[in-house]
Amino acid sequence: AQSIETGDQLLLEYSNDDGSTWQTLQTYVDDGVVNSAFNLPATVVISAQDYTFNDQAKFKFRAEGNQNNDIFFIDDVRIIGYGTEALLFEDFEDGLGDLWTLGGNRADFYTDGLFANGQNAVHLEDNSGVDSSVYTARDLDLTGLDSVHLNFIYYTDSIENVEDFFLEYSSDGGLTWEVVSQYVNNVDFVSGEFNSPPTAVLDSANFTFTNQARFRFRADFSGTGDELYIDNISIEGFNQPTISEP
């Protein structure tokens, strides 16, 4: 940027109708500090859950300066599109099926409706390790994928202090596990509410993708009265053909 004053901005916009209408994806505003310098902004991610994808898609950068000599220089633009493979979805309305397994006596199948998106969900409590968990019942083949995205919704009840629960991943059929995400009370959620957390993203640079992949939710609370209800779990695999215009 050159000759940019406080409040001048650059917008990244998206159109799904060949440019007839535009939606703002990101706004870059000068704060009066960074100017006449190279900037490398964070990656902008858009998903089909929030935007309509079709063959009329366009992207646009648009400057909003307050005079003609306010200049933004843009280079090395890269757009990455992900091919999607649905690996698993479960809303538990037809039971656990053959997709998920309860870990032990601190996990059960919930059917009362109040704490589920529909009627059913998985219920976890306490901090009894495997007994307080639910995990995929069969191996998933993630070989050849660049990333895996997992989404779910959950409800917690009677969680105190900084008690938490975990989403974990195994590349060896469940023999060993590593943490993907940790969800902490009063940080990531408020007890007594439904929550839809940000997508948990695993990429092949940080996780080993094999044909023995499994996922697990594990409660780490302080007692049997601390409740977690999990519903609408989806797992999708992505690969990324890249279009680059440097």
Question: So what's the pLDDT on residue 172?
Answer: 98
Question: So what's the pLDDT on residue 34?
Answer: 45
Question: So what's the pLDDT on residue 37?
Answer: 56
Question: So what's the pLDDT on residue 108?
Answer: 96
Nearest CA to 179 out of 148, 200, 205 is that of 200
Beta-carbon contacts of residue 113 (< 8 Å; ≥ 6 apart):
119, 120
Q: What is the pLDDT along the chain (246 residues), one digit of tens a residue?
A: 445 566 678 889 999 999 999 999 988 776 544 455 556 676 888 877 788 888 889 999 988 766 666 677 788 787 877 677 889 999 999 998 889 999 999 999 999 989 999 999 999 999 999 999 999 999 999 999 999 999 999 999 999 888 999 999 999 999 999 999 999 999 999 999 999 999 999 999 999 999 999 999 999 999 889 999 999 999 999 987 655 555
Question: So what's the pLDDT on residue 80?
Answer: 73
Beta-carbon contacts of residue 1 (< 8 Å; ≥ 6 apart):
8, 10, 30, 34, 35, 36, 37, 39, 71, 72, 73
Q: Measured between alpha carbons, how far is residue 52 from residues 28, 170, 180, 229 in Å? A: 23, 33, 29, 31
Question: So what's the pLDDT on residue 53?
Answer: 84
Q: For 71, which DSSP code?
A: B
Question: So what's the pLDDT on residue 5?
Answer: 60
State how far the Cα of 159 lies from the Cα of 124, in Å rounded to an integer.
12
Question: So what's the pLDDT on residue 69?
Answer: 66
